[in-house]
């Protein structure tokens, strides 16, 4: 099997930015693709996106997934999502590599048995044609029997503006321009047709503003969607000045003063939240490492102290730290206080 050189594209970057910076956009996509019924209140824990795969000769190849995370619903489930502008013959190989490494990251050995749990995987196609399948499949032929699983497919071009907002699939908005890609030449030459495209983006802008006014999304999320839409537009319509300027004039460019203030406040809140999660993960990891050397009980205590130290350095209020270590380590309030 030939080695394939993996390169990141602006579309990958946009997809990854949306998932990491606007996590509220993830759950509706998971519900749509996998038929889940998450409410949006579930906690999402991201896994490291960088994995190192051992190759022949002792070398390591780095692989970067678009997104691997766990949703803590009634039962925890791991998911792996990728974004593709089109199909290629290396995609299934990459999915299997990623899924295997994701499974190994949390593999568990009991006695002489290694148990690995593969994630629920899906790919978002930004372009598709009649030959693009609705699902992909990985089949493993093992000495103990054959095992196979599906990689589900989501096709962004299938969704209208109405469906995107009805199903809350706001993550697809930056890629909506792909639905018009084949008509770029017409739009560039015909002002009437270009005006119709502008009208669609006017509708998108108005619907986003309405969601902000209703409190359904934050100003930060709205602004990120717009900025990512402009980034996709700049790349896909690089040869079409009228289209770029026409759509951008509707969606907006510079951040207004009142938007900047709101975004700054929301960004601080989001930063604290992510900092808390990161601090807890680091603290727990330190506890596990200490536990292997000093005994589980001492290791857990070290982990709690590590978590508290990290969160204090992040400027997290003591009361918030207290609640977090109670939740994460299943401690009473009295037992938690001694660590502050």
Confidence of residue 91 (pLDDT cuts 50, 70, 90): confident
Q: Residue 95's CB: how many other CB atoms inside 10 A? A: 19
Asked if 69 and 44 count as a contact pair (C-beta separation under 8 A), the reply is: yes
HEC assignment per residue over 270-333: HHHHHHHHHHHHHHHHHHHHHHHHHCHHHHHHHHHHHHHHHHHHCCCCHHHHHHHHHHHHCCCH
State mean pLDDT over 276-283. Answer: 58
Q: What is the pLDDT of residue 88?
A: 72
% the chain with pLDDT above 70 = 73
Q: What is the pLDDT of residue 304?
A: 72
Give me 3's structure tokens. Answer: 């080695």
State mean pLDDT over 273-280. Answer: 58
Which of 210-219, 234-243, 291-300 has the least mean pLDDT? Answer: 291-300
Q: Using CA atoms, how far apart are residues 51 and 162, in angstroms rounded to an integer?
A: 38
Q: What is the pLDDT of residue 6?
A: 44
Q: What is the pLDDT of residue 216?
A: 94
State mean pLDDT over 145-174. Answer: 96
Query: Is the predicted pLDDT of residue 97 greater than 80, yes or no?
Result: yes
> Distance from first CA to last CA of the chain, Å, rounded?
56
Q: What is the pLDDT of residue 292?
A: 46
State mean pLDDT over 171-181. Answer: 96
Which of 169-173, 246-250, 336-340 has the least mean pLDDT? Answer: 336-340
Q: How are the residues of the chain apportioned to helix, strand and coil, as percentages rounded to the nearest 5?
A: 60, 20, 25
Q: What is the pLDDT of residue 3?
A: 44
Average pLDDT, the chain: 81
Q: What is the pLDDT of residue 266?
A: 55
State mean pLDDT over 24-47. Answer: 92
Which of 98-112, 184-198, 276-290, 319-333 has the least mean pLDDT? Answer: 276-290
Maximum average pLDDT range among 47-51, 107-111, 240-244, 308-312:
240-244
Query: Is the predicted pLDDT of residue 184 greater than 90, yes or no?
Result: yes
State mean pLDDT over 124-133. Answer: 90
Beta bridge partners of 263: none
Which of 222-236, 296-310, 325-339 has the least mean pLDDT? Answer: 296-310
**CB within 8 A of 250, min separation 6: which ones?**
198, 201, 202, 205
Beta bridge partners of 124: 83, 154
**Between 90 and 147, the higher pLDDT residue:** 147
Edge to edge, the sheet with strand 76-84 lists 43-46, 67-72, 76-84, 120-125, 145-155, 135-142
Maximum average pLDDT range among 51-55, 78-82, 295-299, 300-304:
78-82
Q: Using CA atoms, how far apart are residues 199 and 205, in angstroms rounded to an integer?
A: 10
Query: Is the predicted pLDDT of residue 337 greater than 60, yes or no?
Result: yes
In the block, which residue shows the tokens 């900025």?
A: 227
**Between 238 and 264, the higher pLDDT residue:** 238
Q: What is the pLDDT of residue 23?
A: 87
Q: What is the pLDDT of residue 37?
A: 94
Q: What is the pLDDT of residue 242?
A: 94
Distances (CA, A) of 244 to 66, 116, 237, 251: 26, 47, 6, 11
Give me 174's structure tokens. Answer: 């930056």
State mean pLDDT over 39-68. Answer: 63
């Amino acid at each position: 099997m030939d080695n394939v050189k993996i390169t990141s594209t602006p579309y990958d970057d946009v997809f990854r930015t949306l998932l990491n910076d606007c996590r509220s956009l993830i759950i509706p996509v998971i519900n749509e693709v996998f038929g889940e019924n998450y409410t949006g209140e579930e906690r999402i824990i991201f896994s490291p996106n960088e994995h190192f795969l051992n190759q022949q000769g002792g070398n390591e190849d780095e692989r970067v997934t678009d997104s691997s995370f766990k949703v803590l619903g009634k039962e925890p489930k791991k998911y792996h999502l990728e974004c593709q502008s089109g199909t290629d013959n290396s995609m299934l190989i990459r999915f299997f590599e990623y899924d295997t490494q994701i499974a190994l990251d949390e593999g568990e050995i009991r006695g002489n048995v290694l148990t690995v749990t593969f994630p629920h995987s899906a790919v978002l196609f930004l372009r598709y044609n009649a030959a693009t399948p609705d699902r992909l499949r990985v089949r493993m032929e093992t000495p103990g029997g054959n095992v196979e699983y599906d990689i589900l497919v989501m096709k962004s071009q299938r969704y209208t503006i109405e469906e995107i907002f009805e199903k809350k699939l706001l993550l697809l908005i930056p890629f909506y321009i792909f639905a018009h890609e084949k008509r770029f030449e017409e739009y560039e030459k015909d002002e009437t047709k270009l005006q119709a495209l502008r009208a669609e983006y006017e509708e998108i802008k108005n619907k986003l503003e309405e969601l902000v006014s209703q409190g359904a999304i934050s100003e930060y999320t709205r602004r990120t969607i717009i900025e990512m839409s402009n980034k996709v537009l700049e790349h896909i319509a690089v040869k079409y000045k009228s289209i770029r300027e026409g759509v951008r004039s509707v969606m907006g460019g510079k951040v207004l003063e009142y938007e900047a203030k709101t975004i700054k406040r929301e960004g601080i809140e989001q930063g604290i939240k992510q900092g808390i999660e990161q601090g807890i993960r680091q603290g727990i990891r330190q506890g596990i490492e200490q536990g292997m050397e000093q005994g589980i009980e001492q290791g857990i205590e070290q982990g709690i102290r590590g978590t508290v130290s990290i969160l204090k350095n992040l400027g997290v209020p003591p009361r918030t730290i207290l609640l977090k270590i109670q939740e994460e380590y299943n401690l009473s309030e009295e037992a938690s206080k001694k660590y502050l």
